[in-house]
Amino acid sequence: MTSLATVRNAICALACTSVTLYAGITIRPQGPVVVPVGSAVQFKANADVRWSLEPGSAGEIDRDGVYHAPNSIRVNNSLGGCQVLPNDHIYNTRIDTLPLDPNSPSLMSLIPPSSISYFEGWGINIGNHSTPTKKMHFFYTPHHDGSFELMPWPELKRQTGALTDPSSGEDRHEFTVDRDTCRFYELYNVYTPGVNKSCPTCTAQSGIQYSGMDAALQEGSVDAAGLLIMPLTVSLGEIRSGAVRHALRVTFSNNIISPSSAWPSRSHAGAWGHIPYGTRLRLRSSYDISNFSDTAKVLLTQLQQYGLMIADGGPNWAISASTDVTMDPVVVAAFEEVARKGPHTADFEIVDESPLAVSPDSGLVNPESGHVKPDSFATVVATDSQGKTAKVRILLQGVTVGVPDPSVWIQSGVTQQLAGWVNGAQKKGLTWTMSPEVGSLTPDGQYTAPDVSRPAHTTITASSVADPDAKAQIDLTVMPPGPIRVKIGNATTAAGAPNHYAPDYGPDSEGHMWWRDQAGEVSWGMVYDDYGVKWPAGKDIPLYYTSRYSLGDMVYKFFVPNGRYKITLLFAQRGELGKLDTYPIQWRAPIDLEAQGNILVKDYDMGAGIDHATKTPVSESMPAEVSDQSLYFALRRLSAPGNIKPSPMLNGYVIEKDDAPPHVSIIPHEVPILHINEQIQFKTIGWHMPASVKWSVVKGRGTISDTGLYTAPSEPPATDEKIVIQARSATDPSKVATDEITMQPGSLSITPDSAAIDYSLSQKFQATLSGVPYSNVKWSVSPDIGSINSDGVFTAPDQVKRDTVVIVKAESKLFPGRSASATVRINASAAPIRVVCGPPRGFKDAKGNVWSDDFGYSGQTIAYSVSMPIPRARPDLQRVYQSSRYVYDNGRFSYNFAVPNGRYHVKLLFCDYAFNDPGHHSFDVKLNGEQVLTNFDPNAVYGSKAAVDKEFDVTVQDRAVHIDFIGHKGGATINGIEIIPAG
């Protein structure tokens, strides 16, 4: 791969990015000069010169040095009605005729064979002169500090969700283009001052802003490679237009990318592979695309002509797309088609872009490279009487047209003024046309939706008066009058379901049609059809088979008649191929439910009322008041530090007029069976009135807080007990809502129900009532070997002659006769301990020894594993060395294992599989307080990525083996631990 240093030494003198000086000739204005199409600019020199254009240049120049731009150019890349960088920028330049990088075969062999995929990671915010600005101070890129446009909630589109927590560890990019100034703003992880403890005054991790006609390559960005992200993201409008004429961003895992960069990349991160950031890949020209759909051909042609740039670590072959593509099922189907039957790793190659570089600081392409003539380039040449020349580069700005959304849904009878704007021309007028004729459209863009019986489609085109070839299109769907019912994920394919109108669903049991999945802009996720799983019988159950989840917000928009509406959301967690009856709460909760700029349900949990059961339909309704014919609702993804990163999921929705009087309602509507000490959070929704209420328990036991948190009593009832809670409106006490709770006695059990411990050690048991801890019990052990205290801690005797089994019993003090028991096996000799550190990877080795999943650790750590072969590792122990638990620089963590007192042989198993050379780790290890390793580096023992064992003997006197890992440079790591009694 050509290095950045090589590029710096190959600066082209024929196409510089500023005025070029030869024999004293100076040209004004200095370059590069932005020139809109159809306009002219006067160039002057400090000597008598002959003016000309470099061969192949667009436009004309007269003998007096007046450059006349062409009247029209095709803009290769636009967003929000703004040109995204000059056409002759490297991002927007075809590379299908470039030579291969000489290292292409060897570098491509490092990428595992797999298909490609498109990742709808972020939306593009369209700002204007009224968008709020804020002075930003960045942690990673302080040289880019300045005033940035920040789109406010609820309009904000942000990667992983507008309301996610900045400390959650998730990527939180946000992108805005100002439609008035055509200035672009890219931000990464915005937060309030004080959040970043290393920089209390910082307001984001990084940021960059640039003009749409800026050709300079700035140092640092919001991407690891230092590349710009918006110019490398594919959006819906350009796919629909039939051609994507720019490179796209792609990620690979960090063990593939090298800690180096190639032009136009300006930086790199801590990857440890071999392919530089900024590397350009393309689909081979020999790859046959003839059998793909028309939309898939658009995607594949882009890969052949413009290719991909390696921008960051991430999933292999993940290509960046804007979330607006999810509004078009045809484009989503094309993404799936390419992923399913499209190209694989072997179909790609790496090209050598270095001949195109004008300068390492510029993105402009050298028109004299001999490989590519960039689109719409122009270079002014001044030649004096001695034949000496000077040159200035022209940056041609074309006419662009923007619209707020590429897709619009409008209900019958609604008249809506469509919006559009023009940049790059003095004349700002637009001409509006429609095909086919569905409803009526005035020349100035006022559309009236006709009466239809099912969704009808048309394409609205807004064309510039100044340049009719410059246009933007809106895919417009007219929805029938009355309730709008939409089936998320489309109709199920289940046999016998009402899917003969697929992808529409219906008619249902009441004769209603549910229209195909539409009107939503969502982030990457999955659409599921659970038809192969047996669901409980119920009304319209196949309606819930299909669903979609998202790794970001889910936002749905319609134009509807003004009035009051009820929005009903349908939920049912799929059965995961029949394997699960319940699901973890963090899969789907908490999220916020929002409509019309109001968060109506904070921290919503769709499974709260059903004990998080799978295959169990639930619904939630919320109000919306429409006064400007615009209705929207959103499922907002939330996150928090740790593993709380739920994904919103939806099965369907209904939007219908609501004539009910103002009232309050309580959620959840269905309340699960409760047991002692259990809690449930109740919330209220205000229907066209405030939601604030006063809570009370009006029947039965338990307490409820001012915020609606109900807590069951600490003692069980003898039989089922009915409890009623009440919410009385704080603004209108006549408005009251109630909900009923059932509390059951529960069944007594012990956790764990069996255990095996070595002599002299202890085991804690917990009595529970239906899984809820319960302390009002009497403990006993039979036969009378060992002891158990009132807290349920059983202690084995200091010695037993042989392995012995005893029974531990817990009996209710409140209801004598209700009891539970557990068995304890007491080992007469200490058992070996073998642990695979890192993610769960327990197994049995070739000698029959059991290696358990990781346990006994404490401290903030990271668990990771790979599948690469490990040199010097015993074949049956490869699994141990391929997994690790580690911390970064200066971090520390420990392991603690309970063992009887005595002598033990401890083996620590290491492998630094992440790096090819030593020097990336340096840490100490202490065994029961004694330092046994100092500044240890696994790669410094036997070389790169090799297995290393360190063995020690230790005498235990406090019934524990305690191991501390104390990181210095590069942190500390451990792959496996073996503790064997030494006799």
Q: Burial of 761 by CB count in 10 Å (0-12 exposed, 13-18 middle, 19+ buried)?
A: middle
- Those residues with Cβ within 8 angstroms of residue 816's Cβ, 6 or more apart along the chain or in another chain: none
Per the CB < 8 A criterion, the answer to whether 674 and 706 are in contact is no
Q: Between the CA atoms of 45, 47, 49 and 52, what dihedral angle is there, to the nearest 10 degrees? A: -20
Rounded CA separation 906/951 (Å): 6
Largest CA distance in the chain: 114
Residue 726's DSSP bridge partners are 696, 738
CATH class as words, domain 18-73+376-397:
mainly beta
Average pLDDT by consecutive 10-residue portion of the chain (983 residues)?
A: 36 37 78 96 96 97 98 98 98 97 97 96 98 98 98 97 92 98 98 94 98 96 97 98 98 94 92 93 98 98 99 97 97 97 98 96 95 95 95 98 98 98 97 98 98 98 98 98 98 95 97 98 94 92 97 98 98 86 93 97 94 95 98 94 86 98 93 93 96 97 97 96 98 97 96 96 96 96 97 97 97 95 97 96 96 96 91 96 94 97 98 87 96 96 94 97 94 97 86
Say how many C-beta atoms besides its own lie within 10 A of residue 932's C-beta.
18
Q: Give the Cα separation of 941 and 918 in Å (integer).
A: 9
833-981 maps to CATH 1.10.3720.10: no
Question: What residues does each domain of the chain span?
Answer: 18-73+376-397, 79-355, 400-479, 482-659, 660-736, 748-827, 833-981
CB count in 10 Å sphere of residue 505:
30
Give the pLDDT score at 935: 96
Q: CA–CA separation, 448 vs 413, rounded Å?
A: 7
CATH of 748-827, one of 2.60.40.1080, 3.30.360.10, 2.40.30.10, 3.20.20.120: 2.60.40.1080
Buried b (16+ CB within 10 A) or exposed e, 516-551: bbbbbbbbbbeebbbbebebeeeebbbbbbbbbbbb
Q: Which pLDDT does position 21 carry in this prediction?
A: 42
Q: Tell me the backbone φ, ψ of residue 332, rounded to 5 degrees.
A: -60, -40
- Residue in 158, 184, 223 with CA at minimum distance from that of residue 77: 184
Question: What pLDDT, on a 0 to 100 scale, did the predictor assign at position 14?
Answer: 32
SS3 755: strand
Q: Radius of gyration (Cα) for the chain, nearest Å?
A: 33
**DSSP-assigned beta bridge partners for residue 89:** 364
Identify the CATH homologous superfamily for domain 400-479: Cadherins (2.60.40.60)
Spatial separation of the C-alpha atoms in residues 693 and 727, rounded to whole Å: 6
Fold agreement between 482-659 and 660-736? no
Task: Decide if domain 660-736 falls under CATH 2.60.40.
Answer: yes
What kind of fold does domain 482-659 have according to CATH? Jelly Rolls (2.60.120)
Is residue 701 a contact partner of residue 678, using CB atoms and an 8 Å limit? no
**Which phi and psi (to 5°) does residue 797 adopt?**
-65, 165
Burial class from Cβ neighbours inside 10 Å (0-12, 13-18, 19+) for residue 554 reads buried
Nearest in space to 361 (alpha carbons), one of 486, 254, 215, 157: 215
- Tokens matching residue 597: 């700029």
- pTM of the complete model: 0.84
What pLDDT, on a 0 to 100 scale, did the predictor assign at position 919? 86
Token pair for residue 652? Answer: 């369907």
Q: Which residue has the tokens 């005054």?
A: 201
Q: Nearest-5° angle of CA 739, CA 743, CA 748?
A: 160
